[in-house]
Structure 1
Amino acid sequence: MASFIGSARATRASSPALIDRSMRSRDASSWRSDTTRLLTLYRNGTKVGEHPESFGNFTLPAAMGTYRLTYDVDASALLPVSTRVSTAWTFQSAGPSDTESIPVPLLSVDYALPLGEANHPNGSVAEFAVRQTRGVQQQEITSFSLWTSVDDGTTWQPARVERLEDSRYAAEVPEQDADRGVSLRVAVKASGGSEFEQTIIRAYLAE
């Protein structure tokens, strides 16, 4: 995702595009021309810079700071699901004393939604697994929250979340009228100050 290099450090941040299986039949040029992307980095609440791509280079001081990296994708002109995705990572980091690259303590979430091959529900319980960057001190996950929306993010309802083992969580997702979307929003916090937030508009469509 990101690495910090040197005392007057530069970081290259990149984010994987979140796309549906229907994108497999489309080429990369369609993805680039028919979607909008914005990657933005903040340090201690001040914007460092932004790039209209899923990657970018930023020049940063070596001193410890609190960072927030956001990535917004609008694929509504191309996809029927995951039409808009907004992701934010919060973490603390300082640059190394030499020219080595170091990983940063990012969180992410894997979704196991109760969906069939056509992205339609075949159950009501979703599972979520919190992941952490390898090569950094692992943090305790202190909170995991989930909200759902059946009106494309206009209003949100909190979901009841059950904590499982190994940083996994389960929650029921709402029923919806046929061909209507269900949107999801997750928020995760960890003991070392790292946070993860993600909103997926029309994460899936009801049958």
Structure 2
Amino acid sequence: MRTTLYRDGKKVGSNTDPLTGAEAFTVPAGAATYKLSTSVTRGKVADVSTKVTGDWTFSSKKSTGSSKKSTGEVKLPTSVVRFTPTLAADSTAKAGTTTKMPVTVQGSAAGRNLKSLTVYVSYDKGAHWKKLAVSGGKVTVKNPGAGKSVSFKANVSDKQGNTVSQTIQEAYRTR
């Protein structure tokens, strides 16, 4: 597990807390472009979502908090993509079937602020990717043979140029 923050291309810091944000990064005031990269490998504790990565780029500037009690914390213009397939309790789907799976963008690129969303699927743990058409907030996925896995990658951009690229390896398995 590792999270690293860059400010205008220079490394600010790195930590091993990609999930809770308890290990905060302190950055100087002023406008800057940031890149935040995080990666979690769960292969030894889970059969699905064995590796999850995310790379965000965004701009931020000094907080203009109106309260004296302002902590200086700023809500960052970041987004995530949620894939919500219908799965069995053991995180499996029936092999060989085709399903329309909801894909939702949350955060700064949600709704009318979405500039672009591209979704990819992989049936070989991310070695090769196939672009999927997004229509009506869904993608169509053809599940592979029994015992295989399905991985997803998404790239999002909002109208201000903030981006996210996220990958979920082995998001679910087939039976």
Query: Normalised by the size of structure 1, how large is the TM-score?
Result: 0.72
Using the alignment, how far apart are the partners of 2:8 and 2:83 within structure 1? 30
- Tell me, which stretches of 5 or more residues in structure 2 are unaligned? none
Partner of 1:3: none
Runs of 4+ in 1 over 6 A off after TM superposition: none
Q: How many residues align?
A: 162
Among 78, 83, 95, the alignment partner of 2:50 is: 83
Secondary structure, counterpart of 1:151 in structure 2: coil
- Tell me, which stretches of 5 or more residues in structure 1 are unaligned? 1-36
Change (3 A) 1:153 1:159: same
Q: For residues 1-207 of structure 1, what are the structure 2 equivalents within 5 Å?
A: 37-54=1-18, 55=21, 56-96=23-63, 99-100=70-71, 101-121=73-93, 124-132=99-107, 140-162=113-135, 164=136, 169-207=137-175
Q: Among the aligned pairs, what percent are the same residue? A: 28
Offset, 1:59: 2.4
Q: Which amino acid aligns with 2:8?
A: N
Q: Which amino acid aligns with 1:127?
A: P
Query: Normalised by the size of structure 2, how large is the TM-score?
Result: 0.85
Partner of 1:15: none
Name the structure with the higher helix share: 1
Task: Decide whether the 8 Å contact of 1:177 with 1:206 is kept in 2.
Answer: yes
Q: Could you say what the CA RMSD is over the residues aligned between the two structures, in angstroms?
A: 1.8
Offset, 1:96: 1.9
Task: Decide whether the 8 Å contact of 1:143 with 1:188 is kept in 2.
Answer: yes
